Structure 1
Amino acid sequence: MPIVGYYNGQFVTPNSGIVPLDERGHQFGDGVYEVIRCYGGRAFLLDWHLDRLWMSLQAIRIAPPFTKDECATLIERLIVESGELEASIYLQITRGSAIRNHLFPNPAVKANVSATVRPVASQIAKEPGTLLMMADERWANAWIKTINLLPNILAKQTAHDMGADEALLVRDGAMIESASSNLWFVRDNQLITAPADRYILNGITRRFVIQLADRLGIPVRETKLPAKDLATVDGIFITGTLTEVFPIHRVLTHPDVPYVSLPDVTGLQQLSADKCQVAWEARDLSLVGRLQSAFADAIATFAKSDR
Structure 2
Amino acid sequence: MGNARYDVVRRDGLVIPAGYDVKGPCERPNCNTEINRGLDALCGDRPGIPEHGCGGYFCDKELYTAPEGQTGWRCTDCAGTPQDEPETEPQDDPAAYSPTPHIPRLLTEMCIAESQTGITGRAHDDYRRAQRRTVLLLRAVIADLLALARPEDTRAAGDAARAALAVRHHDWLTRGISADEAREWLRAEYAHWEQNPVHHPRCPGGCQGSGIVESIQVWQDDGIPLDVEPADCNRGRPQDPHLSDCVCHGSGRIPVPGHPHEMVRCPGETIPGPGQPQPAPEPAYAAVGTSPWYDEPPF
- Which TM-score band (shorter chain)? under 0.3
Higher radius of gyration, 1 or 2: 2
TM-score by length of 1: 0.22
Identify the structure with the greater strand proportion: 1
Question: More relative contact order in 1 or in 2 (CA 8 Å, sep 6+)?
Answer: 1
